[in-house]
Structure 1
Amino acid sequence: MTNNSPRLSIGLPVYNGEKFLQAALDSLLAQTFTDFELIISDNASTDNTEEICRAYAAQDKRIRYYRNTENIGCARNFNRVFELATGEYFKWAAHDDLHASDFLMKCIEVLDEDPTIILCHSHVYFIDEHGEFLQKYDIQIKADSPKNYQRFHELLTKHLCYQLYGVIRSDALRKIPPMGSYGNADGIFLLRLGLVGKFYEIAEYIFFARSHSQQSMSMFFPEYKLLNNSNNKYSLNMLPDFYAYTVWFDSSKKGKILFPHWRMLWEYIVSVCLLQMSLHDYICCAISLYQKLRGKESLLLKDLLIAAQQLWQSWHHTRFQAQEVETQFIASEQK
């Protein structure tokens, strides 16, 4: 960060976002807080995303547009916008969400007033493709405790990770590893950030999460809008497809044998050991993990069964190919 750096860096990773991108950019550029840079990382889009971004960058000097020569996967592109940031504060923005004009101002006022708060976000409305109200997102997580193990416990709650789109202290983000490329990587990233410091949720609906068929949650977690405090019928069968999510985070894993739930368990354990805490806090975090994950052992078994099925299919495919080669060889010898 230099003396000429803006106070806030906004990072917008995007891939083929032409349908909603202009509305998202207009929402950010209309903010009452104006001391920011807007970093766009285009993940080799094949639609009109590049043309839209270059046109906006030509009109507003706060915008810095970068285009990847190839698609580097969601997680790497998500991390890239923060790597390019220079501001004291940082905010991720999605290409399809909207913000009230005073969103940034209100978040930064909270952070300026209390240095123990590292992330400020707000209540959330779901909106449809046309920007019309759908419903409230009513899971409010109390991650404002001064005790890190209590924040850890709260952030283990099933939620949709909208805190990621709040305003965050850049130095707090640098204390944890970048976003991973595995199922629930965003949730585990927030869990680790919660161990660094307190979150604050503004009790106003000034962030608008767009719901549409092209988004990852609609594709891999179609029941996500049923995930709320008033729904007592939520079950393991409604969980996201973490196999598909892993590939979405990192396309190089497509076709490989994956153990997404085992990987998530490992990352939860790593999270507890990541930062220095007292023995009491370590024990409390471990107890919270046991309490929150108990009853989900069948998901670990599911990973093993799917891996066994993939190995069996791979073996049969290899055997079939070998038989084909042998048959062709015998036929050629008989000529």
Structure 2
Amino acid sequence: MPDTAPRVSLGVPLYNAERYLEGCLDALLAQDHPDFEIVVSDNASTDRTWRICRAYAARDDRIRLYRNPRNLGGHVNYTKVVELARGELFKWVAYDDICLPGFVSACVAALDAAGPRAVLAYPRTLLIDGSGEPIGPYPDRLGCADPRPWRRVAQVARYLSLCHAHFGVFRIATLRRTRLIRPFLSSDYSFVAEVAALGEIHEVPQQLFLRRLHVASTRQSPTGTLADAVSWFAPEGRRVLAPRLRMLAETLRTLATADVDPATRLSCALAFAATWGTRRVRVHTGRWRRQLTGRPTSAPFGGGGR
């Protein structure tokens, strides 16, 4: 392992990831950015995941390995790779997604060009299926360089859905000011709103992120359930009541206590509440109209961090 800290840390939290892990690691090692490390934290996988990790680490000293003694839940593992990271910049990596070779360098360039006011950069997304076949582009529309934090938070509340932005590249100093991913459904919504309160989010115009939707996804699988998603956060399982309301309450609590001045906290919390409330009214109104006309209803609420 090199003695000097890299510019970018790529954090890979894993659990039973053997199906897509080699493709994920190959894509990371093919990044054209010259200065990065790969930090792997395995949540006591029971399949070939750890064997694959050790084989890759033996071939490339940019890969650092850590293994939890037992499955501590996905949110703990996401925190672990942030704790282990040595880079100035940081990116989470899901084992089933693919980062095209220019992903890291394009996001780093966007952050460098914008300066310290920008805290997150992410590229545009192409959705793929379990076999890697394209499903179609996904417009995240979360980029917002407005100097007013409440405007940025409102942008997040207006468009946040599949939450690809949290797989972008962060300034790690800002990332560590947040509460990261927490043990409730769609905590990535709360997290991205908190990031928007702290600084600008920039969207890179190139389509460099391949997001895989497949039957083993915690929330996007057509056969997935709330219980499946909860087990990602807490392996022992827990009851789920009113996930939308829980997410809203947690997001408002997060914004009201964010690491910013009191006036910014208040304006961001009010902006999220107002924009999210308007969005939900529009969703319900559209659903009622479709029911009256006999058209199919839209997909259910989703988007928890994996």
Q: Retained in 1: the 8 A contact 2:153–2:268?
A: no
For the residues of structure 2 that align with 1:91 and 1:145, how far apart are their CA atoms? 23
Comparing 266-275 and 286-295, the one that deviates more: 286-295
Q: Retained in 1: the 8 A contact 2:15–2:42?
A: yes
Residue 234 of structure 1 is matched in structure 2 by none
Query: Does residue 1:126 correspond to 2:109, yes or no?
Result: no
Q: Retained in 2: the 8 A contact 1:243–1:258?
A: no
State the shift of 1:285 in Å. 3.6
For the residues of structure 2 that align with 1:257 and 1:114, how far apart are their CA atoms? 41
Q: Retained in 2: the 8 A contact 1:243–1:260?
A: no
Query: Does residue 1:50 correspond to 2:47, yes or no?
Result: no
Residue 68 of structure 1 is matched in structure 2 by 68
Identify which of 189, 203, 212 aligns with 2:214. Answer: 212
For the residues of structure 2 that align with 1:263 and 1:201, how far apart are their CA atoms? 28
Residue 328 of structure 1 is matched in structure 2 by none
Query: Does residue 1:251 correspond to 2:235, yes or no?
Result: yes
For the residues of structure 2 that align with 1:257 and 1:270, how far apart are their CA atoms? 19
Comparing 71-80 and 128-137, the one that deviates more: 128-137
Q: Retained in 2: the 8 A contact 1:155–1:194?
A: yes
Q: Retained in 2: the 8 A contact 1:127–1:211?
A: yes
> Cα 1:284–1:28, aligned 2, differ >3 Å: closer, same or farther?
closer
Q: After superposition, where does 1:286-305 map in structure 2 within 5 Å?
A: 286-293=270-277
State the shift of 1:195 in Å. 0.6
Comparing both chains, which one has the higher relative contact order based on Cα–Cα distances under 8 Å and sequence gaps of 6 or more? 2
State the shift of 1:131 in Å. 2.0
Q: Normalization by structure 2: what TM-score?
A: 0.83
Instruction: Tell which structure's C-alpha radius of gyration is larger.
Output: 1
Question: Which letter maps to 1:268?
Answer: T
For the residues of structure 1 that align with 2:275 and 2:141, how far apart are their CA atoms? 20
Q: After superposition, where does 1:88-237 map in structure 2 within 5 Å?
A: 88-115=88-115, 116-157=117-158, 158-219=160-221, 222=222
Q: Normalization by structure 1: what TM-score?
A: 0.76
State the shift of 1:296 in Å. 5.9
| Secondary structure, counterpart of 1:120 in structure 2 | strand
State the shift of 1:256 in Å. 4.3
- Count the aligned residue pairs: 277
Residue 331 of structure 1 is matched in structure 2 by none
Q: Retained in 2: the 8 A contact 1:75–1:181?
A: yes
Identify which of 251, 271, 282 aligns with 1:268. Answer: 251
State the shift of 1:208 in Å. 0.6
Residue 288 of structure 2 is matched in structure 1 by none
For the residues of structure 2 that align with 1:284 and 1:169, how far apart are their CA atoms? 21
For the residues of structure 2 that align with 1:295 and 1:127, how far apart are their CA atoms? 27
State the shift of 1:142 in Å. 3.5
Question: Which letter maps to 1:125?
Answer: L
| Secondary structure, counterpart of 1:251 in structure 2 | coil
Q: How large is the RMSD of aligned CA atoms in angstroms?
A: 2.4
For the residues of structure 1 that align with 2:231 and 2:20, how far apart are their CA atoms? 24
| Secondary structure, counterpart of 1:125 in structure 2 | strand
> Cα 1:121–1:57, aligned 2, differ >3 Å: closer, same or farther?
same
For the residues of structure 1 that align with 2:238 and 2:190, how far apart are their CA atoms? 24
Q: Retained in 1: the 8 A contact 2:255–2:265?
A: no
Query: Does residue 1:282 correspond to 2:266, yes or no?
Result: yes
* % identical equivalent positions: 33
Question: Which letter maps to 1:5?
Answer: A
Residue 16 of structure 2 is matched in structure 1 by 16
| Secondary structure, counterpart of 2:145 in structure 1 | coil
Question: Which letter maps to 1:215?
Answer: S
For the residues of structure 2 that align with 1:106 and 1:287, how far apart are their CA atoms? 30
State the shift of 1:193 in Å. 0.8
Residue 287 of structure 2 is matched in structure 1 by none
Q: Retained in 1: the 8 A contact 2:150–2:264?
A: no
State the shift of 1:179 in Å. 1.4
Q: Retained in 1: the 8 A contact 2:103–2:209?
A: yes
> Cα 1:217–1:272, aligned 2, differ >3 Å: closer, same or farther?
same
> Cα 1:217–1:259, aligned 2, differ >3 Å: closer, same or farther?
closer
Structure 2: state its 5+ residue gaps: 282-306
For the residues of structure 2 that align with 1:188 and 1:281, how far apart are their CA atoms? 14
| Secondary structure, counterpart of 1:217 in structure 2 | coil
Question: Which letter maps to 1:147?
Answer: R
Structure 1: state its 5+ residue gaps: 224-239, 298-335
Question: Which letter maps to 2:129?
Answer: D
| Secondary structure, counterpart of 1:218 in structure 2 | coil
For the residues of structure 2 that align with 1:92 and 1:121, how far apart are their CA atoms? 11
Residue 232 of structure 1 is matched in structure 2 by none
> Cα 1:161–1:149, aligned 2, differ >3 Å: closer, same or farther?
same
Comparing 265-274 and 110-119, the one that deviates more: 265-274
